[in-house]
Amino acid sequence: MQKIALLGLGNMGSGIALSLLRSGSQLAVWNRSREKGQPVLEAGAVWAVTPAEAAQNADIVIAMLADDTASREVWLGERGALRQMKPGAFVIECSTLSLKYVKELSAAAAAGGLRYIDCPVTGIPDAAAQGKLTLLVGADAADLEACRTILQTFSATIRYFGNIGTGTMYKLIINLMGAVQIAGLAEGIAMAEKLGLNRNEVMAAMEDSAAASPQVVRYVRKMGEKKFAGLPAFTVQLRHKDAVYALDLAKEAGFDPKLGAVAKEWFAKALGQFAARDEAYVIEAVTNG
């Protein structure tokens, strides 16, 4: 049986770990904050004291971390996983990262004789726990085939875009489009409020409109009723990070996504007060100008 390590037990990583364990995988886990590991340890994972320790005997090491800074620390840092991995093992990066950093990390993996799968995801934490994520893969085609069985334990769909980095490119495009839709919804709701329209009628009409994308449907009631109950599925901070990475990527390609840039500004404004809150809180920044 293949030995797997998972680095990062936040909302998404914990869900992926539970899906891997349900499939019978032998799983070592590490997270910066030990307490978040408890549910996964109770489900059968083995705790490692450092990323390097988690990775040392693994055939496949998967990471699900906040951003470039976190990923750099966990793979390339003093106690980083790359230091201990055995040649030929797989590095599967599921975090949403900048393309520039993905190139750096994948080159470091290749220099160590490792095989890199660029594997950002779409889907909320519940989908991770139910094994229903969509994976956006950029990798050598043979490497993807070699990992497909493991990837299928936490995904319902695997989309293959081409070489390393292409999964990240698509992920940043789609998340910038998401930022535009969510910020646009917040503007619509704020404008309807300023005009004194009937809130219930507006929310019902928006849900049923030609502009009702899944993002709009997901957030219209949360924003309209200002009810943000429960754990955030996706935070203001993560949406802002993705928009920044996407705009950097666009700039490198000589493209200027103007709508994306304005949407990023709304999330930047919301960061001050609501960084760790659900991204629907962008409505507060938009309403208060």
Nearer to ligand NAP, 4 or 192 (CB): 4
Nearer to ligand NAP, 167 or 188 (CB): 167
Least separation in angstroms between CB 19 and ligand NAP = 14
Tokens 């309807």 belong to 192
Least separation in angstroms between CB 232 and ligand NAP = 8
Nearer to ligand NAP, 25 or 155 (CB): 155
Give start and end residues of each alpha helix (H) in the chain: 11-22, 38-42, 51-55, 68-76, 99-111, 125-129, 141-152, 166-194, 199-207, 214-224, 236-252, 258-274, 282-288
The two structure tokens encoding residue 24: 């019978």
SS3 157: strand
Nearer to ligand NAP, 6 or 190 (CB): 6
Per CB under 6 A, residues contacting ligand NAP are 8-13, 31-33, 36, 64-66, 69-70, 73-74, 95-96, 121-122, 124-125, 233-234, 238, 242
The two structure tokens encoding residue 260: 């994306």
Least separation in angstroms between CB 113 and ligand NAP = 25
Nearer to ligand NAP, 56 or 122 (CB): 122
Least separation in angstroms between CB 57 and ligand NAP = 21
How far, in Å, CA of 219 to CA of 211, rounded? 13
Least separation in angstroms between CB 276 and ligand NAP = 8
Cα distances from 213 to residues 127, 156, 188, 209, 240, in angstroms, run 19, 21, 14, 9, 20
If residue 31 lies in a helix (H) or strand (E), which one and from where to where? none
Least separation in angstroms between CB 13 and ligand NAP = 5
Nearest to ligand NAP by Cβ — which residue? 10
SS3 254: coil
Nearer to ligand NAP, 13 or 190 (CB): 13
How far, in Å, CA of 215 to CA of 204, rounded? 15
Cα distances from 244 to residues 101, 233, 238, 240, 262, in angstroms, run 13, 20, 10, 6, 11
